Amino acid sequence: MATVLVVDDEVGIRELLSEILADEGHTVRLAENARAARDWRLRERPDLVLLDIWMPDTDGISLLKEWAAAGQLTMPVVMMSGHASIETAVEATRIGAIDFLEKPIALQRLLAAVKRALTAPDRRLAPPLPVLELGRSPVLADLRRRFAQIAPMKAWVCLRGEDGMLPELHARALATPTIPFLNATPLLAEVTDDTLRRVPNGIIFIDDLSTLSRAQSRGLAFIGARADRAGVRVVAFSKENPSGLDLNGLEASVVARLADLIVPLPPLREHAEDIPELAVAMLARLCEARVVPVRRLATAALNTLRQYHFPRNLEQLEQVIRSAAVAAAGEEIGAPEVAGILLQIQDAEPSAPVGFDQPLREARDQFERAYFEYWLAREQGSIARLAERSGMERTHLYRKLRQLGIQPGRREDEPEA
């Protein structure tokens, strides 16, 4: 039988549902509010959640969104409410709820909903990380608006950015639960009409245009010739403008379609204020998938991450979190663990030489950025110790860091400058 988590602020309903489900042979866990449910979900994965919408601390819809954003919506959720609108029920379903029960809940309706939810397809694999939803910076807000504008279009899209951007996660933001999505890169060399039939009126994603072999380029041309008839939209990633790439003989018409709508993806350093939220979500997914033990990031560790440059962007951030979670001795990942991993990365990667063919001011900024990032990591994010190292007065140091695009964090034991 299944483990069912019942989340409702009314004790009478919790007890009634518990009795009914226990009589059916299920193991029942109870939570009186969203906080208790959140804490329980961090420790275990239930087979089913019965979640009330209206609760005093956090409503059920908000909790559902939290679980979805953190990659923890890996179990079926049935929403419950005595006075929810149709719009609320539709929103819950869009976020990921599998069913909706109206109070007072009839016995047969409850049992049918529970049976249906428990026999639904397995959801153990966490959904892709919603990178565009994890951040409140103006940079990400602009990108979300851009994606919202182009999502309804049929035009092909070329996403451009640096190494480590995890472009597939961005591309998936153009899809919806009703729009099929396929990363076709591994299939390109042997693509057939059956490949297109797998994504009717959907999105075909290509990882990196610059790495396509001649056979893969022929496969993309094959898709291009049939895409409109199949209702398929191509979204690709490139570190360069596709019109300037040598794509191993790819047809000019395909290159032109890819170059017609280009969306730049901002590097992580341009919205460093989003790093803490991204890091927490990445860690939650790693814990959920049991890649790492259950861990949490201390505030000082999040500040240390926020101050790092991350030349390989989201991919490198995830690698650092995974390594720090494995290295941590306890449940909390502190600043020393994070700083140690960052120092290992800096030692392993060749330092970028100062470009002598650029203006003096840009060359000086490049050196100063590398200098401050190195000592911030070594001093575990301490602005006070960085000021001592650099011989700069604290207020001037804060101003310099912001000028260089380094987000300065403030340790709890340091006053604001």
Per-residue pLDDT tens digits for 317-370: 998 998 899 888 889 999 988 988 888 777 655 555 556 666 777 778 778 877
83 vs 7 pLDDT, higher one: 7
What CATH number was assigned to the domain covering residues 270-403?
Answer: 1.10.8.60
Which tokens is 82 given? 């005595």
> Going by CATH, does the domain composed of 131-264 fall within 3.40.50.300?
yes
Q: What is the pLDDT of residue 186?
A: 82
E-assigned strands of 105-170?
157-160
Identity (one letter) of the amino acid at 104? P
165 HSE (CA, 13 A, CB side): 22
| Contact by Cβ (8 Å): 213, 248 | yes
| Contact by Cβ (8 Å): 343, 371 | no
Per-residue pLDDT tens digits for 264-309: 999 999 999 999 999 999 998 888 777 788 899 999 999 999 989 8
Boundaries of every domain in the chain:
3-118, 131-264, 270-403
Give the pTM. Answer: 0.61
| Contact by Cβ (8 Å): 216, 188 | yes
**What sign for the dihedral angle of Cα 347, 169, 152, 60?**
negative
Short-list 131, 248, 180, 79, CA closest to 88: 79
Identity (one letter) of the amino acid at 246? D
Angle between helices 313-327 and 275-288 (to 10 degrees): 60
Mark out the alpha helices in 127-247 (DSSP H runs).
Answer: 138-150, 167-171, 193-197, 214-230
Largest CA distance in the chain: 77
Q: What is the pLDDT of residue 293?
A: 84
Q: What is the mean pLDDT of the chain?
A: 84
**What sign for the dihedral angle of Cα 5, 10, 14, 16?**
negative
Cis preceding linkage at 104, omega within 30: yes
Give the residue-averaged pLDDT of 229-254.
Answer: 79
Question: How far apart, in whole angstroms, are the C-alpha atoms of residue 74 and residue 81?
Answer: 22
What CATH number was assigned to the domain covering residues 3-118?
Answer: 3.40.50.2300
User: Residue 30's beta-bridge partner residues?
Assistant: 6
Fold match between domain 131-264 and domain 270-403: no
Give the residue-averaged pLDDT of 20-27.
Answer: 94
Q: What is the pLDDT of residue 416?
A: 42
